[in-house]
Structure 1
Amino acid sequence: MDGKQDTLQHHENVQVSYKYDSGFHGQYFEEFFGFNPYEYWPFRLIFILLGYATIVVPAYLVIRFVKKKYSENSVDFSSNFFRRFLKLFAIGTPEASFNLILSEGKCDDTKNLVNTRPGERNRSWLTRDGPILAFYFVGIQLNFVSMGFFQERIVTVGYPRVDNVLVVEPFGDAQFLVLVNRIVALVLCCLYFIHDYRNQPVHVPPLFKHSFCSLSNTLSSWCQYEALKFVSFPAMTVCKASKLIPTMLMGRIVRNKSYSARDYVTAVILVIGACSFFLSNQTDLKKSSSVTTISGIILMAGYLAFDSFTPNWQKKLFDCKPQVSKTQMMLGVNTFSAILCFGSLLEQGTLFSSIEYALSHDGFSRDLFLLSLSGACGQVFIYAIIKQFGPEVLAVIMTLRQIFSIVLSSLYFSHPLSITEKLIISHRTPSWLLQDGFEGWWEKRTYRLVVLI
């Protein structure tokens, strides 16, 4: 941020420079102010938010209008497809809620638990939910460790041009990566939704509620990609491993979930470990400007805030009766995310330049597709874990996968780990595994299995 281009220095003698397309807004700034605002991440964020606003504000006005007409009962929303869609978007189908709750038979499981002995209940849980959680755990590790690898590969390593392999150019538009990721996830979700359409429940909540977690999910992904330009991947992953605290705080705000003082104290201890790892990496950070270091910290803080809101809001939707299916959740979130990213990129004038880069650089499209595919498959496991076990279990599992991401990144990209960093990892590994041993959480059998895994 302190020059005319963002710089990233992960290795001792290697520096990657990012050059950005000026876009529509940048052309005016360069003409009147003499600089390209797209070379500074705060301006890029502002333009992204302005692009989102051109979609969010009209949608908000439509929602207000539909709710007013629905409360006045002055419009027949069942008369045609367009009106039915408006009602589903702004109001949902509240009239179906009561009948669906009765048809769920939600008391069946509790009856079975009451009629069984405690020992039998524990064994039935272990045989029923244990293998499922283990399967989710493995799926998360495989997909998101791969996703983290391709993230760093795309953001920190340039790609040779097709017409001249000696010219290696980096890719700098993080929002385009988010767009392609959401499009691939949306295509896979639509194919499965069409196949399983008859088994999908009635979508009772209004569709616009998916936009909240969609917006936070998109911004968290953008912050994550941008942060990789300022901090090393190992430092970033260990900081991400401390997202348990913001997840707990967001759980308190969004879902009114309470935690004991011991829970917070244990989480704070884990954060101290992450910070010590980050500070131990100062030998690399000193070679970049203090502004660059601050930029990385701010972007990581933004990632943690947005990323902790997303699963808590999704869990809130899942807890509504009747429940939203995982397919409906994935379809709604990725639809809104794709619309927001596409609209913002189109308004900024950077969409076609990103497509041109993908077509003119060897290997970029392949890595981008693999990144998006692993992210799309990972979403399936994320929604399944949130729905069945809650966002806290997801935070723990995502924390554990940081260990594998750090090891893979250090081996492939030659990130040097100091003795202090290795000691911190070896110290934090058992603490990560034991962080579910919170007094209140340990009584929930779900977390015992996470520790065993």
Structure 2
Amino acid sequence: MLVVCVAGIYGSFLSWSYLQEKISSKNYSSEDDEAYFKAPLIINSVQAFFAMLVGTAYMSVKSRRLEIPAYFLFQDKKMLWNFVLIALSQAVSSPIAYQSLNHLDYLFYLLAKSCKLIPVMLVHRLLYGSKFATYKYVVAGLVTFGVVVFSISNKAKATSNDGRILLGFAYLFVSLLLDGLTNSTQDQLFSKSQSKNITGAHLMAGLNLLNAVFTFSYTVLFTRQFDYFRQFVVDNGPEVVQDILMFGLLGSLGQIFIFLTLENFGSLLLVTITVTRKMFSMCLSVFLFGHQLNASQWFGLLTVFVGIFLESFYKMFAHQKKID
């Protein structure tokens, strides 16, 4: 099961990350002008809508009957509150993180968003009183340290930002805490709702329903991104629409494997997989575009793989112990 989940996450999100980079960096102009797509909330809305549809189908297949996300959400007020809390933290975290790019280089953004293991454990500990085995702290430290070394060893290109570093760090800090709240609350929801048969499929469908409602409502009421999107397509053609739709589909398929991993193995292992997937995306970019890794980057990469091996070793050891 773990191998299938890892392969599904890697396969879906390596393609997804390619489209993410393409949408954010491609010049869609058919003429000599510049036309870069700058409406992230449109992308988030499409992603949430697709994930809701795929999650509903996934939930219906697992239960062998037609399931409606809103139906099980409103059966239990406490459960609904937990779903709303997670969906809000997801919906708010992304725009706050993007806001930090006005004040920080992209390197710092990528670095901070890649180091989710520690805030997840911090929120688990402070908010829910969870305790972890010593090896989990070692794994979190190794993976985070490896990502840090790999990222800061890469020479960053000059970027345009206002240099207000402290404000940028504040945005990122809040975003990471929200990410930690999301992952830890998902764990608690699973552990306390097993009698209610809450599965990864329920979580995927319910969260993305709420996420789509929140993101779409905010985009319509407080931004003009839909007007921008419509005019962008009129001026530059439908290619960006095709890319966004494929981006949403791949992300939705990837979420199935994410919630399977979360349901069966917990948020810490999930974060380890997703962080290392980002590392493989970076390595793939290096080999595809002929970049060369320096000694420090190879050291960082090796450190991450040591952390992965340690996590896998202890998981297999614990599983073998249960069998014996």
Q: TM-score, normalised by structure 1?
A: 0.59
CA displacement at 1:426 relative to structure 2: 3.4
1:147 aligned partner, one-letter code = W
> Which of structures 1 and 2 has the bigger CA Rg?
1
2:299 aligned partner, one-letter code = I
Which SS does the other structure have where 2:196 is aligned? coil
Aligned length: 308
Distance 1:294 1:433, change over 3 A: same
CA displacement at 1:189 relative to structure 2: 2.9
CA displacement at 1:180 relative to structure 2: 1.0
- CA deviations on 1:379-400 (whole Å, 9 max, x unpaired) are 1111111111111121121122
Of residues 424, 429, 433, the one that matches 2:299 is 424
CA displacement at 1:226 relative to structure 2: 5.5
In structure 2, what is the equivalent of residue 405 of structure 1? 281
Which SS does the other structure have where 2:311 is aligned? coil
Distance 1:330 1:269, change over 3 A: closer
1:146 has 2:38 as partner: no
Q: Would the aligned equivalents of 1:359 and 1:365 in 2 still touch at CA under 8 Å?
A: no
Which SS does the other structure have where 1:168 is aligned? coil
Q: Determine which structure has the larger helix proportion and give its number.
A: 2
Q: TM-score, normalised by structure 2?
A: 0.79
Cα distance in 2 for partners of 1:339, 1:148 equals 24
Q: How is 1:411-450 mapped onto 2 (pairs within 5 angstroms)?
A: 411=287, 414=289, 416=291, 419-436=294-311, 443-445=317-319
Q: Would the aligned equivalents of 1:152 and 1:228 in 2 still touch at CA under 8 Å?
A: no
Distance 1:443 1:248, change over 3 A: farther
In structure 2, what is the equivalent of residue 253 of structure 1? 126
CA displacement at 1:411 relative to structure 2: 4.8
Of residues 240, 261, 266, the one that matches 1:390 is 266
CA displacement at 1:340 relative to structure 2: 0.9
1:244 has 2:120 as partner: no
Cα distance in 2 for partners of 1:276, 1:445 equals 32
Q: Would the aligned equivalents of 1:149 and 1:408 in 2 still touch at CA under 8 Å?
A: no
CA displacement at 1:220 relative to structure 2: 3.2
- Structure 2 unaligned blocks of 5 or more: none
RMSD over aligned Cα, in angstroms? 3.3
Cα distance in 2 for partners of 1:415, 1:307 equals 33
1:345 has 2:219 as partner: yes
- Structure 1 unaligned blocks of 5 or more: 1-131, 447-453
Q: How is 1:265-414 mapped onto 2 (pairs within 5 angstroms)?
A: 265-281=138-154, 283-285=156-158, 288=160, 291=163, 297-319=169-191, 320=193, 321-350=195-224, 351-362=226-237, 363-411=239-287, 414=289
Cα distance in 2 for partners of 1:348, 1:415 equals 43
Q: Would the aligned equivalents of 2:190 and 2:198 in 1 still touch at CA under 8 Å?
A: yes
Q: Percent identity?
A: 21
Comparing 252-261 and 393-402, the one that deviates more: 252-261
CA displacement at 1:228 relative to structure 2: 6.9
Which SS does the other structure have where 1:444 is aligned? helix
Q: Would the aligned equivalents of 2:93 and 2:176 in 1 still touch at CA under 8 Å?
A: yes
In structure 2, what is the equivalent of residue 205 of structure 1? 76
Q: Would the aligned equivalents of 1:214 and 1:336 in 2 still touch at CA under 8 Å?
A: yes
Cα distance in 1 for partners of 2:297, 2:317 equals 32
Q: Would the aligned equivalents of 1:244 and 1:395 in 2 still touch at CA under 8 Å?
A: yes
Which structure carries more relative contact order (alpha carbon 8 Å, separation 6+)? 2
In structure 2, what is the equivalent of residue 19 of structure 1? none
Which SS does the other structure have where 1:406 is aligned? helix
2:281 aligned partner, one-letter code = S
